A and B are shown apart, each in its own frame.
Chain A
Amino acid sequence: MASPPRPPIDEDHLPDPFDALDAASHADVEEEEPPAPALVRWIDDRIGLEQLSGLARKKTVPVHRQDFWYYFGGITLLFFVVQMFTGLLLLVYYQPGVGTAHASVARITSEIEFGWLIRSTHSWAANLMLLFAFVHMFSVYFMKAFRAPRELTWGSGILLLGLGMGFGFTGYLLPWDQLAFAGAKIALKSIAGAPGGDIIAMMLGAPLDSAGEPNVGAVSLQRFFALHVAVLPTLFMPLLGLHLWLVQKHGNAIPPSEEGRPTTRTVPFYPNFLFKDLVVWLLCLNLLTVLAAFSPWELGEAVDVAKPMPPGIHPEWYFMAQFELLKLVPAHVGPIDGEMVGMALFTLAALLWAVVPLWDRGTNAGARLRRINYVGFFAAAALIALTGLGYLGWP
Chain B
Amino acid sequence: MAVDRIKAFFTRRGFGQALIGIATTGYLGAVLYPVLRFLASGARFAGEGTEVNEVLLGDADAISAGSGKNFAFGSRPALVVRAKDGSFSAFLATCTHLGCTVAYDAAKGAVRCPCHGGVFDAATGKNLGGPPPKPLRRLEAVVEGGKLVVRRAKT
Which of A89, A93, A114 counts the most B-chain CB atoms under 10 A from its CB? A114
Could you tell me the distance between the alpha carbons of A107 and B42 in the complex, rounded to whole angstroms? 10
A118 and chain B: residue at smallest CB distance? B38
- A388 at interface (Cβ–Cβ under 8 A)? no
Question: How many of chain B's residues have a CB under 8 angstroms from any CB in A?
Answer: 10
Contact across chains for B34 and A93 when beta carbons are under 8 A apart: no
The answer to whether the Cβ of B3 comes within 8 Å of any Cβ in the partner chain is: no
Contact check, A92 vs B34: say whether CB atoms are below 8 A apart. Answer: no
Distance between A21 CB and nearest chain B CB, rounded to angstroms: 13
> Bound complex: CA of A114 vs CA of B34, how far in Å?
6
| B41 contact from A113, A117, A282, Cβ within 8 A | A113
Indicate if A274 sits at the interface (CB-CB under 8 A).
no
List the A side residues contacting B37 at CB < 8 Å: 113-114
Q: Does B39 sit at the interface, judged by CB under 8 A?
A: yes
Residues of B within 8 A of A113 (CB): 34, 37-38, 40-41
Q: Are A118 and B41 in contact (CB under 8 A)?
A: no
Closest chain B residue, CB of each to CB of A115: B38
Q: Is the CB of A112 within 8 A of B34?
A: no
Residues of A contacting B41 in the complex (Cβ-Cβ under 8 angstroms): 111-113, 115
Shortest Cβ gap from A280 to chain B (Å): 15
**How far is B4's CA from A150's CA once the two chains are assembled, in angstroms?**
51
- A107 contact set on B, CB distance < 8 A: 45
A232 to B41, CA, bound (A): 29
A114-B39 Cα distance, complex, nearest whole Å: 9
Q: Which residues of B contact A118 (CB under 8 A)?
A: 34-35, 38
Chain A residue at minimal CB-CB distance from B44: A111
Q: How far is the CA of A93 from the CA of B41 in the complex (A)?
A: 11
Q: Which 9 A-B pairs have the closest CB atoms?
A: A114-B34, A113-B41, A113-B37, A114-B38, A112-B41, A114-B37, A118-B38, A117-B34, A113-B38
A residues whose Cβ falls under 8 Å from a Cβ of B = 89, 92-93, 107, 111-115, 117-118, 282
